[in-house]
Amino acid sequence: MSGLLRWRPVSVDTGVTVAPDERLSWPQTLAMGVQHVVAMFGATVLAPLLMGFDPNVAILMSGLGTLIFFVMVGGRVPSYLGSSFAFIGVVIAATGYGGSGPNPNLAVALGGIVACGALYFLIGALVSVSGAGWVERLMPPVVTGSVVAVIGLNLAAIPIKNMAPTPFDAWMQGVTFLSVALVAVFSRGMLQRLLILAGLILATLIYALLTNGLGLGKAIDFAAVAHAPWLGLPHFSAPRVELKSVLLIAPVALILVAENLGHLKAVAAMTGRDMTPYLGRAFMGDGLATMISGASGGTGVTTYAENIGVMAATRIYSTAVFVVAALMALLLGFSPKFGALIQTIPLAVMGGVSIVVFGLIAVAGAKIWVDNRVDFSDNRNLMVAAVTLILGTGDFTLKLGDFALGGIGTATFGAILLHALLSRARAR
């Protein structure tokens, strides 16, 4: 463990990027950790709410899962694990959740999540033993780039359609992403590295001035913060294994494999370091974290594209930042007051930040194509990317009985299968 917690100190002004085995000063690392907590918070809380899970458990398990992942990859892969949206459709199908309040069949969903984590762990163990060659053949850069881009594009409707209920909120979303953009372009030094957090704070202050001060929109209400206790246990739950839920939820492991592979490819492209040797261990770490989360009442977890988007913007890849963010998430999971404070961030402001972050995810996918010189004059690559992007962005869904495969799933499997089919046909 002592070896895992060693990073070479660097100054923010010494280079363009901060590598995974380097770190800024601890105060700067702490600030970056806060930014990553903010980046993951909206989606990590939203996913459990959509499935009827306790969001405090999800936050707690995201921090614990990130630490598990950090240990499994030897502290060499910068990544944050948060609630996976890939589970939402299958969990709702398995439990019949009505969409409001606690999920009465939560235990059944948790059993399926634990089974999914176990399958994911076994895939990782197989990759560790046999090498990543077969995964690379199934998921070359044209596939992984498409899947990563689709994750951002598929999520685009969330801030656009669901996080701006009034015209005022839509304008505030514009103010928010403009604030982030101004910080990104015109600030310098550490402030520029904290562009997401700084833009969010600036937009929240503007929102408070316009609403609490001038009464132009829904005011920020701090009553929940005042009444929430500083410390408290979240509501843990135990899983119950039922074959139907296992058959519905366990296949999500394949989507998580594609997500994780795409994320590692994106990180490798951004850092200039080969992450392939850590692929099997990354799968195992994510799978183990999902099992522990499901066994405790939390959602399935995945390497978070939102945080990769932050890294793409800041060019700080220090794994020390993710250890700090994970520890903050653990504290948040045990602090209803802190959770209430974060949730006072206006929906429109969080929506504006989400527009930026989801856009950065989509661009990270395109960067995989550019860095790997994907040849789009090759009709095979062209068709794989074209079909995948539309399946994912349009949320194309396939149903077989009670099983429903949503946009990210159909795009992921579609990209893999279409590339394999077209490659086989061309080889003949």
CA dist 248 to 92, 124, 173, 253, 411, Å? 10, 21, 36, 11, 18
Query: pLDDT value at position 427?
Result: 61
How far is CA 180 from each of CA 23, 78, 106, 235, 371, rounded to the nearest angstrom? 24, 23, 38, 35, 26
Helix (H) or strand (E) holding 405: strand 403-405
Tell me which residue has tokens 């197989």: 126
Separation CA 31–CA 230 (nearest Å): 22
Residues 216, 218, 223, 228, Cα dihedral to 10°: -140
Radius of gyration of the chain (CA): 21
Whole-prediction pTM value? 0.73
Going from the first residue of the chain to its last (428 residues), give the mean pLDDT of each consecutive group of 10, the final group possibly shorter. Answer: 73 70 88 85 75 87 95 91 81 74 88 95 93 80 84 78 83 91 81 76 91 84 83 87 82 80 81 86 96 94 83 86 93 82 79 82 83 88 92 83 70 87 75
Give residue 117's pLDDT: 96
pLDDT of residue 18: 86
Task: Check residue 100 and give left, alpha or beta (phi > 0: left; psi -120 to 50: alpha).
Answer: beta
Q: Which residue has the tokens 């661009």?
A: 363
Helices 106-130/88-95 angle, 10° precision:
140
CA 390/CA 223 separation, integer angstroms: 43
pLDDT for 190 equals 61
Secondary structure element (H or E) that encloses residue 124, with its range:
helix 106-130
Crossing angle of helices 195-208 and 305-314, in 10° steps, is: 100
Query: What is the pLDDT at residue 242?
Result: 85
